[in-house]
A and B are shown apart, each in its own frame.
Chain A
Amino acid sequence: MGDAFKMVVLIAFRNLVASRLKTAIVGGIIFFGAALVVVGTSLLDSVVESMSRSIIGSVAGHAQVYSAKSRDELEVMGGFDLEGPDIAPIDDFAKLKAVLMQVPNVKAVVPMGISGAMVTSGNSIDVALAELRGVVRKKIGGDTSAATIAAYDDGKAHVRQMVKVLEGDIENMAQLHDEKTLAPEDAATVRKAAQDEFWVEFDKNPLDSLEFLENRIAPQATDADLLFLRYVGTDPAAFARSFDRMKVADGTAIPPGQRGFLFAKYIYEEQVKLKTARRLDKIKDGLDNRTVTIASDPELQRFVRENHSQVREILLQLDGRKTELFRAKLRQELGSGEADVGKLLSAFLQTTDENFARRYAFFYKELAPALELYRVRIGDTLTIKAFTKSGYVQSVNLKVYGTFDFRGLEKSPLAGALSVMDMVSFRELYGFLTDDKRQELAALKAASGATDVSRDNAEAELFGKKADAVPGRVIEADATPGLDADKALSGLAGRLRRDDLAARVFDPKQLTQGVVLNAAVILENPRLLEKSMADIEAAGAAAGLPLRAISWQKASGLIGQFVLMMRMVLYTAVLIIFVVALVIINNALVMATLERVREIGTLRAVGAQRRFILAMLVIEAMVVGLLFGALGAGAGAAIIAVVGKVGIPAANQIFNFFFSGPRLYPVLGATSLGAALAIVLLVSALSSFYPAWLAMRVTPRQAMQSED
């Protein structure tokens, strides 16, 4: 047996060398196929790996748990719209946590709620008025130093300028808005504030005039910049503990018991930073890390164009003194005699590959210190307005304590998509009402009796949540309640109320108890994910708390599914390629066999059994497969090794997202190698069966007779 086998292998090898053309064709296809499988699956696995690190490490945990009564499936990432899916709330997190912690393999549970909202960065007129008010107080307090008087005059001039702009805005508004919805008295108040008499009066009675401006003029200004933010409401301490790669990048963490907001660093840079500066950063990143040039890359060209044409954002920040400063500096830098700062800036930002490095440095060294680089500074108060589940607008003021990112995932748009706020504020924005709040609402409704909808709604704050409220039974608010009650608190009163709330502390217990939407589960051993998910659902059912547990991949919504689909596409392509290859190889082998009919006949004549012939041909094919397959897999591995060193630059935003960063460093997976070899062996074995079967049927006589 051993000898026969040796002989078969020997003959097989000799034949390979003898018919080089066939070997080359079959081997070439197999080589290529194996390399493709190795490169393709390694790349895909690396994408999945980098995405899963981003998703698991930033918010999803290994599994997500939510109420089985929910109408939608939970998605913690990648929703198309601001609102999250429709998730039934879980009334008591303490109970949920107790149930989950009993499940073996569960390491930590983090309470969560995910939603999104529009955020206003504050009217500039509000800011100007607040500053002026400060100066007025000082002045009334007896401070009559030259500096205060100058600041008073500056502030007044600034506000007056703004009122004048507002007058123009009101005219524009008339072109857009239906006259019936425009209250004529609004326009009249603005006109009044623009007149000289008003400002004479202002000097006599500054506090009353300020109140008039704050209550009647400021609400009409609409220049607040809108941000769209997605955030997760959570227990900030538990969040930081469980997602241990999280680190505070700027500022501090949210102190225990305080309401607060932490920006995701990525979002902070992307959305809050001065757009001009952000674009300069991106151009630099492109030049340094992607080694493209402004001259050749359309994306960088767009950044330059936008920087060049959108200088308004910077100009708005320049008061008289800074305008002078910028003019002098830019004139010197550009060697230009231009007087208009806007034009100077525009010329300065017309960057090319040659001057970019110098201008970038100049911008950050000379200009940036005089600019507010972020619209929302650390320590500012952020007003978040969200549609509650039932559709009315709820707003909450939160202090921005800082920004955070995740170690190793700093540049991942996926990991940096969600900002963090305390759970108590989240509940309020999401529109959970407790029993006593509901009664309060009913009382107010009855009291106001109004049915028309006031356009003050946005200014209006529904009801503050008393910080010391006992977390009672929580219900979701009815559809459209309180729309008519919104009038109750408007304008200044509403604002004061919110400020007051923002400063209040709450009982830290509210974070560990009370209503949550979902919870992230961190496991001891992530490999047991499937089993743990089943255990969690069983434990929930046993405790009378119907739960649904989903893996991080499912929780990441469309992103996770996208990965699955990419895998499907790759496998289909590989399948198709190998099916076609199978046919072609088979064809080549059939012909090679037919050529060897005489040889086979001779072998048979000298005593070779049919089995021997079959084995010979199959082994021949397998040897080719194995040899070229191994070579191909090796070539694939080499490609991955080289690419893994250099990294594949993300060509655009979409790839940035899939690579979970600016570059993908693929690693070779052992499974890809194994899969490649297995597929190749299978294909070569399958493709050799038919020709071998043909050869097997050759009889010695027939073969010796045949001419060719």
Chain B
Amino acid sequence: MSRLFMSLSIAFRSLLQHGRRTVFLGLAIAGVTALLTLLNGLSSGIKRTMVHTATTLSTGHLNVGGFFKVTGGQSAPVVTRYKEVLDVVKRAVPEMVFAVARGRGWAKVISDRGSMQAGLGGIDIKDEPAFKDVLQIVAGSIDDLAQPNTVLVFESQLKKLEVKVGDALTVSAQTTRGAANTIDLRVVAIARDVGLLSKWNVFVPSATLRALYQIRPDATGAIHIHLAEKDFDHIPTIAARLRTSLEQAGFRVMDPDAQAFWMKFQTVNREEWTGQKLDVTTWEDELSFMTWTLKLLDGLTALLMVILIAIVITGIMNTMWIAIRERTREIGTLRAIGMQRRGVLSMFMLESLLLGLGSTVSGAVAGALLAAALNAAQIAVPEAVQLFLMSDRLQLSIEGPSLLRSVALITAVAGLAALFPSLRAARLRPVVAMSHFG
């Protein structure tokens, strides 16, 4: 124990002695760690916003959606007799926290002053307490969405629609029978944006959506199943189980296909069956058209890190070589008074590890602080970046485990980089080392 303590104190003193060198190298390592922290924070920030936004607006953690085909060539994103489906879901997914039925639609929304195309979410606000908690209402009351022919819009849509609470909106859509149908709605609530998806979504009562598409009261768009955070990692397993249960209960279930429901029309329309088929999807499936940005960011981060770590390794090795040359006589002396080769090796390794640990920790802390500062600054980002970030503000999310991983990774790299020079130092013979000059 005391041996370790001594080694540590020698390493620490050596670092202090070569203060300038330590500071420079430490700064570089800390900078790289801070960068890694920030980039990871960005990536998980995006993911978090994505899950948060999406599970509020357009998907559950797990969904039972599906298509109803009146004829072979046309399909509607509808689940008929959904209560029966819900019963099966309740039995098959005991992990379920709650489930909601949402209508799905796509329509033209027209106000007196403008118009836009939007995804319609049909919602029973009375059954969805969580929805109320997540949305911040800027004007009006979300509870009014319980009344028929009402609509909730998002702030960013006001630019196009120019409406306020109480104003009228008309929605116009094609029913599955190919006819256009319209309904007049009253704006009852305006909500603050929830990420990019809210640009294209408005919410109406389920009954209104059914009336617009003229579908039966026992039909809905999809059942969104919400799970507790602890179950997030095994969503695919739960999905597979649910699929089997639904099949056993006599429902026809589509093969898994990791795409958003609206990307499946082309395929479904070309298949021969008619009637109802159910489709079990996860939130990642429904957002597959967006998650590629996340993959791109992770790829870029990895690439950048590899390059930077290569540079840092070069720097550490260089420093160690020179330190060993400078301290050859010291090494000789230590060996002469009885230090083992292993001792020399661990002394230099410890030095490097200590430097690595110190600078990674401070780098991680700096990165986390910077991330917090960036979050607090609420930096608005341009539209192209918004698409990438899924949010109109820069949001970083620093997570403990990934922070620890970064620290461990870079410290380990620092240690490894020192391994080769340290081995060389350990191999020095005391006599040669002591007579070394310069």
Whether, in the assembled complex, B342 has its beta carbon less than 8 Å from a beta carbon of chain A, the answer is no
Whether, in the assembled complex, A313 has its beta carbon less than 8 Å from a beta carbon of chain B, the answer is yes
Whether, in the assembled complex, B137 has its beta carbon less than 8 Å from a beta carbon of chain A, the answer is no
A176 B70 Cβ-Cβ under 8 A: yes
Whether, in the assembled complex, A351 has its beta carbon less than 8 Å from a beta carbon of chain B, the answer is no
B176 A587 Cβ-Cβ under 8 A: no
Tell which of B85-93, B240-248, B271-279 binds the partner: B271-279
Whether, in the assembled complex, A579 has its beta carbon less than 8 Å from a beta carbon of chain B, the answer is yes
Residue of B nearest to A579 (CB): B31
Whether, in the assembled complex, B292 has its beta carbon less than 8 Å from a beta carbon of chain A, the answer is yes
**In the complex the two chains form, what is the Cα distance from A21 to B322 in whole Å?**
10
Given A455-B175, A565-B384: A580 and B308 within 8 A (CB)? yes
**In the complex the two chains form, what is the Cα distance from A170 to B398 in whole Å?**
56
A residues within 8 A CB of B383? 558, 561
**In the complex the two chains form, what is the Cα distance from A586 to B319 in whole Å?**
11
B residues within 8 A CB of A28? 314
Whether, in the assembled complex, B110 has its beta carbon less than 8 Å from a beta carbon of chain A, the answer is yes
B71 A165 Cβ-Cβ under 8 A: yes
B28 A580 Cβ-Cβ under 8 A: yes
Whether, in the assembled complex, B339 has its beta carbon less than 8 Å from a beta carbon of chain A, the answer is no
Tell which of B72-80, B140-148, B401-409 binds the partner: B72-80
A residues within 8 A CB of B215? 176-178
Whether, in the assembled complex, B126 has its beta carbon less than 8 Å from a beta carbon of chain A, the answer is no
**In the complex the two chains form, what is the Cα distance from A579 to B35 in whole Å?**
12
B residues within 8 A CB of A393? 172, 174, 180
Residue of B nearest to A21 (CB): B321
For B307, give its contact among A168, A172, A179, A577 (CB under 8 Å): A577
Given A168-B274, A590-B20: A178 and B311 within 8 A (CB)? no
A581 B311 Cβ-Cβ under 8 A: yes
Q: What's the tally of chain A residues with a CB closer than 8 Å to chain B?
A: 78
Most chain A CB atoms below 10 A, which of B78, B210, B272, B437: B272
**In the complex the two chains form, what is the Cα distance from A22 to B116 in whole Å?**
63
Q: What's the tally of chain B residues with a CB closer than 8 Å to chain A?
A: 82
Whether, in the assembled complex, A641 has its beta carbon less than 8 Å from a beta carbon of chain B, the answer is no
- Interface of chain B residues 145 through 172 with chain A (CB within 8 A): 159-160, 170, 172
A178 B214 Cβ-Cβ under 8 A: yes
A577 B311 Cβ-Cβ under 8 A: yes
Most chain A CB atoms below 10 A, which of B112, B115, B383: B115
**In the complex the two chains form, what is the Cα distance from A36 to B308 in whole Å?**
13
Whether, in the assembled complex, B236 has its beta carbon less than 8 Å from a beta carbon of chain A, the answer is no
For B271, give its contact among A32, A81, A172, A312 (CB under 8 Å): A312
A residues within 8 A CB of B228? none
- Interface of chain A residues 208 through 232 with chain B (CB within 8 A): 220-225
**In the complex the two chains form, what is the Cα distance from A419 to B188 in whole Å?**
40
CB distance from B99 to the nearest CB of A (A): 22
A312 B270 Cβ-Cβ under 8 A: yes
CB distance from A676 to the nearest CB of B (A): 15
A86 B160 Cβ-Cβ under 8 A: yes
- Interface of chain B residues 303 through 356 with chain A (CB within 8 A): 304, 307-308, 310-312, 314-315, 317-319, 321-322, 325-326
Residue of A nearest to B219 (CB): A176
Given A306-B267, A708-B326: A456 and B116 within 8 A (CB)? no
Whether, in the assembled complex, A546 has its beta carbon less than 8 Å from a beta carbon of chain B, the answer is no
Residue of A nearest to B313 (CB): A584
CB distance from B41 to the nearest CB of A (A): 15
A residues within 8 A CB of B317? 25
B68 A175 Cβ-Cβ under 8 A: yes
- Interface of chain B residues 214 through 243 with chain A (CB within 8 A): 214-217, 219
A173 B70 Cβ-Cβ under 8 A: yes
CB distance from B348 to the nearest CB of A (A): 16
Given A391-B182, A584-B312, A587-B28: A654 and B170 within 8 A (CB)? no
For B68, give its contact among A176, A457, A459, A580 (CB under 8 Å): A176
A residues within 8 A CB of B177? 173, 177, 220, 222, 455
B170 A391 Cβ-Cβ under 8 A: yes
For B73, give its contact among A29, A36, A172, A223 (CB under 8 Å): A223
B270 A310 Cβ-Cβ under 8 A: yes
- Interface of chain B residues 27 through 73 with chain A (CB within 8 A): 27-28, 31-32, 35, 68-73
A residues within 8 A CB of B374? none
Whether, in the assembled complex, A207 has its beta carbon less than 8 Å from a beta carbon of chain B, the answer is no
| 20 additional A-B residue pairs with CB within 8 Å, beyond A172-B70, A573-B304 | A22-B318, A28-B314, A29-B314, A71-B159, A81-B200, A222-B70, A222-B71, A222-B176, A310-B270, A387-B117, A390-B115, A391-B108, A391-B110, A391-B115, A391-B172, A458-B179, A459-B179, A580-B32, A583-B27, A590-B24
| Subset of 15 A-B contacts with CB under 8 Å | A25-B318, A71-B160, A172-B71, A175-B68, A176-B76, A177-B177, A177-B216, A224-B74, A225-B269, A310-B267, A387-B108, A561-B382, A584-B312, A587-B315, A590-B20
Closest 7 CB pairs of A and B: A561-B384, A584-B315, A181-B214, A391-B110, A455-B179, A457-B180, A583-B28
